[in-house]
Amino acid sequence: MQKSLKIDANLCTGCLQCEMACAFEHHRTFTIARSRIKVFSFEKEGRKVPYTCTQCDEAWCLHACPVEAIVKDARTGAKKVLEEVCVGCKVCTIACPFGTVNYVAATGKVQKCDLCSGDPACARACPTGAITYVDADWTGLGKMRQWAGKTDTNPAAV
């Protein structure tokens, strides 16, 4: 079963444990500048919103790459960057409508979320459940359940 990252910004406190986990998973560092997931703070609204790649099926980045350095992982559905193939041309960073693939000057390659081969470190690290890794076909299940709970199934009893 394919899974997908599901982000519920209402639960995010802005602790950045996800960013640290991502940076450590891929670069063995706590330095969040290396994270592929970012938490944005909308100060005036008092909201924190984690954001990362949604793994488009027809991925702009994948199609834009002139050297086929971005490939689909058949098992997880993640679009992965093959570092040994990437030439750092950055065309994918221009093609991506969401800004979630970015250049890393220190390596001369681009990086993006690869779902940690099916066990995303960010979801594991999130203390509030704002980031979870769930059935890709049923990311709406929680909301459906909420609304289902409001459905009146026995009007006669009212």
Partner 1 sequence: MTWTKKILRVNLETGTCTAEPLNLEWARQFLGQRGLATKYLVEETDPKVGPLEPGNKLIFATGPLTGTSASTGGRYSVITKGPLTGAIACSNSGGYFGAELKFAGWDMVIFEGRAPSPVYLHIENGEARLLDASHLWGKTCWETEETIKHHHQDPQLRVASIGRAGENLVLFAGIVNDLHRAAGRSGVGAVMGSKNLKAVAVRGTLTDAYAPAEPEAFFKAVADAKAVLAGNGVTGQGLPTYGTQVLMNIINEVGALPTRNHQDVQFEGARAISGEAMHEPRPTDGKPNLISHNACFGCTIACGRVSKMDPGHFSVKDKPLYHGASGGVEYEAAWALGAANGVSDLEALTYVNFLCNEDGFDPITLGATIGAAMELYELGVLTQEETGLELKWGSAEALVKLGEWTAQGIGFGKVIGQGSRVMCAAYGRPDLSMSVKGQEFPAYDGRGLQGMALEYATSNRGACHVRGYMVSPEVLGIPVKMDPGATEGKAPMLKAFQDLTAVVDSAGICLFTTFAWSAPDIQSMIQPALGGDWSLDSLLLLGERVWNLERRYNLAAGLTAKDDTLPPRLLTEPAKTGPQKGRVADLGKMLPEYYEVRGWSPEGVPTPDTVTRLGL
Q: Which residues bind partner 1 (CB under 8 A)?
A: 13-17, 20-21, 23-24, 27-34, 43-48, 106, 125, 127-128
User: Which is closer to partner 1, CB of 45 or CB of 58?
Assistant: 45
How far does CA 66 lie from the centroid of its chain? 24
CB of 92: closest distance to partner 1 in angstroms?
21
Spell out a b/e string for 110-121, using b for 16 or more CB atoms within 10 Å of the CB, else e.
bbbbbbbeeebb
43-49 contacts, C-beta under 8 A, 24 or more apart: 47/9, 48/9, 48/12, 48/13, 48/14, 49/7, 49/9, 49/12
User: Which is closer to partner 1, CB of 27 or CB of 90?
Assistant: 27
Q: Residue type for 137, please?
A: D
CB of 123: closest distance to partner 1 in angstroms?
14
CB of 47: closest distance to partner 1 in angstroms?
7
CB of 86: closest distance to partner 1 in angstroms?
18
User: Which is closer to partner 1, CB of 34 or CB of 36?
Assistant: 34
User: Which is closer to partner 1, CB of 68 or CB of 107?
Assistant: 107
User: Which is closer to partner 1, CB of 78 or CB of 130?
Assistant: 130
Cβ-based neighbours of 39, under 8 Å, separated by 6 or more = 12, 14, 16, 18, 19, 48, 49, 50, 51
- Residue 11 gets which letter from DSSP? G
| Cβ pair 32, 23 in contact under 8 A | yes
CB of 150: closest distance to partner 1 in angstroms?
21
